[in-house]
Amino acid sequence: MSLPPYNQPPADIAAAQAAAQAPYPPAAFPPPDAAIAMLGLTRTFGTKIAVNGLTLAVKRGEFFGFLGPNGAGKSTTIKMLVGLLRPSAGRAWVGGVDVWRDPIRAKLQMGVLPEQLNLYDRLSGRELIQFAGRLYDLPRDEVARRTESLLNVLMLGDDADKLVIDYSVGMRKKIALASALIHRPAVLFLDEPFEGIDPVSSRVIADILRDLTNSGTTIFFSSHILAVVERLCTRVGIVKQGQLIAEGTLADLRQRAGASGGSLEDVFLDLVGANTREGGLEWLE
């Protein structure tokens, strides 16, 4: 199967992309059981390659953790997967639908909690969720019912009629999550969902997410809180400098990193090559 990129990348990027190790042969791509798939996904900003030939498939019902150090290209990848940032090269599918060729069908299946919450902050929390429900073309009474249940579960009921601009960071995150859940998406993209969220809400959100995956929703989840990733995710991918350097279950990664029995944090640090002991900070001791 020939898969032409949307824009022809510069020669060096094309070479970098070609050099990327694709775990799937293009002919079999996207796999039929993949909820999310990307093939040679590349994004450049000027001469900087932010995402470099990423090829990956996430199966339906998986809770996929997408990890990497700051600047590794996680948010850029998610933006390309949800249709907010056009790839320099490569393709992306959500629910078997090409995100950039049939964006509306693809978006019907997804819910997104972006890293940067650019919400309609002059709507109240309740209005924002209802607005989202109406854009997914849900019946009005169903929108109202779901809105109230989401507000209650996410503990926003008391503040539902306040404008979003007056919300705290955590409340904004919760209201954005509620807007992403209103249509019961088949695929959920979450970029740092637990940042700025209190422990009680974190537990509630984690429970919601687990319920969703149990009922078949696929979650693509980016976070720096490795303990949460370890607790929730069924499979993990680690990116560094725009390239996928490891992918698999936690056990796979431990095996690969040679850190049998270690935590995800140990595996992660081992794979990305962190160094905390040789920084020349002896004077602190």
Residue from 212, 226, 229, 238 touching another protein (CB under 8 A): that is 212
Q: How far is the CB of 261 from another protein (least distance, A)?
A: 31
Q: Which residues of 83-105 are buried (b: 16+ CB within 10 A; e: fewer)?
A: bebebbbbbbbbbbbebeeeeee
Q: How far is the CB of 216 from another protein (least distance, A)?
A: 9
Q: How far is the CB of 168 from another protein (least distance, A)?
A: 7
Token pair for 156: 């926003």
DSSP state of 230: H
Per CB under 8 A, contacts with another protein among 84-123 are: 84-86, 103-109, 112, 114, 116, 118-123
Helix H or strand E encompassing 246: strand 243-248
Residue from 20, 22, 208, 225 touching another protein (CB under 8 A): that is 208
Helix H or strand E encompassing 43: strand 34-45
Alpha helix positions (H), the chain: 11-19, 74-82, 103-109, 125-135, 140-153, 169-181, 199-214, 226-232, 250-257, 264-272
Query: Rounded CA gap, 205 and 222, in Å?
Result: 15
How many of the chain's residues bind another protein (CB under 8 A)?
63
User: Which of the ranges 31-39, 63-71, 176-184, 232-240 carries the binding residues for another protein, by CB under 8 A?
Assistant: 176-184
Does 193 sit behind a cis peptide bond, omega within 30 degrees of 0 on the bond before it? Answer: no
Strand pairing report for 218-222 and 187-191: parallel
Residue 179 interacting with another protein (CB under 8 A): yes
Closer residue to another protein, CB minimum distance, 99 or 238 = 99
Residue from 132, 175, 269, 271 touching another protein (CB under 8 A): that is 132
Residue 231 interacting with another protein (CB under 8 A): no
Is 136 within 8 Å of 180 (Cβ atoms)? no
Kindly report the number of other CB atoms within 10 A of residue 37's CB atom: 24
Residue from 7, 8, 152, 249 touching another protein (CB under 8 A): that is 152
Q: How far is the CB of 46 from another protein (least distance, A)?
A: 13
Residue 254 interacting with another protein (CB under 8 A): no
Q: How far is the CB of 259 from another protein (least distance, A)?
A: 32
Residue 226 interacting with another protein (CB under 8 A): no
Beta-bridge mates of residue 54: 41
The residues that touch another protein, with contacts defined as CB under 8 A, are 82-86, 103-109, 112, 114, 116, 118-123, 127, 131-132, 134-140, 142, 146, 149-150, 152-153, 155, 157-159, 163, 165-166, 168, 179, 181, 183-186, 198, 200-201, 204, 207-212, 214-215
